[in-house]
Amino acid sequence: MAFGVLRMGHMPRWLAQMYYPSTSKRDLRIDWLRGFALFVMIIDHIGSETSWFYSITGRGNYYISAAEGFYFISGLTLGILVARQGLGKSLEHVLMRTWVLYRTTVLICLGFVFASYWGLHVWYEEWDKSQNLLEFMAGALTLYNSYNGSGILALYVFFMLLTPLAIFFIFRGYTWAVVLASLTTYALSQTYPGAVDVPISTLFFEPAWQLLFFGGLIIGFHRERLSRFWAQIPYVRDGLSGLIFLTAALFIVVKVNGLWPQLDKVAIGDDPQQLLVWPRLLLVALYLQAFYLLITWFWKPLNKATGWLLIPLGSASLWTFTWHLIVMVPLYNLLDYPELTSNIWAGTAFHLLSLLIIWSSILLYRRWRKSRSAQ
């Protein structure tokens, strides 16, 4: 995503036949990638004792997780859209999107608090009833309190609140200032975290994670310029593409065979997502680019096999995120879920069922919207 890919006229014919066709205004590769990140998030969050799907997702025990891709691609998509819309329309879009995210965040938090209060099992541990409910609700409205995954979106809301300032500077030609501010904030988060902490209760360490979102925003905004730059040095671009792809494959071999336990300790550790340490950040950049190359080079077979599922999930990301939390409630309350999913086939079946429920809800909602608008 940071640089271009192989030239159509200088690639093997067999590869050209699978290559992504640049015929659509909407880049379906980005929807596919975000859909894959959400697919991983669904499988790992819904959980089961065992499942064949864990061989794909890594069960949260790989160098990177779905969350990094979620934040980066959210910033990237927004940057691409902002570059097309212009400053005025972009500010309006960002503010409306922020309101939708804020509303969804609060509803997720309070909805699952009441579900837990009334005795239902949810994704998180039971809500602590010793807390003052009204005080907690007030904290939820200010995004200070989070529950059952709402903190993931609360962090997204916080990024969006800063986005109008960032895009104003970018449109005025001061992208360097946004880059400097983001890098400085990240550096401080690793050295003096208290200096850049913010009063939002989330699962993640906010000052470090902003680098993913705003990095994606900047790359998305300048995407066309970056593509033109790399087009001027095609052999360097193509060489880097191959090197990135091979390096990513090598690290998978290293991880699977346990050849570099020190890297596991640094990049994964006990709580890697809190700090987003620089080795993990480099691995995130490596795999984001490698996945983009993979879906570009092998688009036709990958899209045919998985696009029907991943593209709807990725293009309706907020809906997908919300529904993957909702789907857990009947699984956890109507079934003996841990016992049933101790069998790998049952665990895989419940994962597949959850995916299909979320996917079907997206298609049904879109059909309903389409029929309503036609009336």
279-301 pLDDT, tens digit per residue, is: 899 999 999 999 999 999 999 99
What integer pLDDT is reported at residue 276 of this predicted model?
84
pLDDT > 90 fraction of the chain, expressed in percent and rounded: 66
What integer pLDDT is reported at residue 267 of this predicted model?
80
Looking at every residue in the chain, the average pLDDT score rounds to: 90
E-strand stretches of the chain: none
Ranked by mean pLDDT, which of 105-114, 248-257, 334-343 comes out on top?
105-114
pLDDT of 272 above 60: no
114-173 pLDDT, tens digit per residue, is: 999 999 999 998 999 999 999 999 999 999 899 999 999 999 999 999 999 999 999 999
User: What are the domain boundaries of the chain?
Assistant: 8-374
193 Cβ neighbours under 8 A, 6+ residues apart: 205, 207
Chain-centroid distance, C-alpha 278:
19
CA distances (Å), origin 94, targets 46, 122, 165: 30, 31, 11
> What would the mean pLDDT of 89-113 be, rounded to a whole number?
96
What integer pLDDT is reported at residue 8 of this predicted model?
47
Q: Tell me which of 22 and 278 has the higher pLDDT.
A: 278
> What would the mean pLDDT of 190-203 be, rounded to a whole number?
72
pLDDT of 185 above 50: yes
Q: Are 244 and 290 in contact (CB under 8 A)?
A: yes
pLDDT of 85 above 50: yes
Rounded CA separation 275/181 (Å): 18
Residue 180 token pair: 């400097």
pTM of the model: 0.92
Select from 103, 226, 117 the least CA-distant residue to 156: 103
CA distances (Å), origin 28, targets 25, 59, 85, 181: 9, 26, 19, 31
7-38 pLDDT, tens digit per residue, is: 544 566 777 788 898 766 789 999 999 999 99
Q: Are 106 and 140 in contact (CB under 8 A)?
A: yes
Residue 88 phi/psi, 5-degree rounding, is -60, -50
pLDDT of 257 above 60: yes
pLDDT of 102 above 80: yes
What integer pLDDT is reported at residue 268 of this predicted model?
74
What integer pLDDT is reported at residue 248 of this predicted model?
94
What integer pLDDT is reported at residue 270 of this predicted model?
65
What integer pLDDT is reported at residue 195 of this predicted model?
80
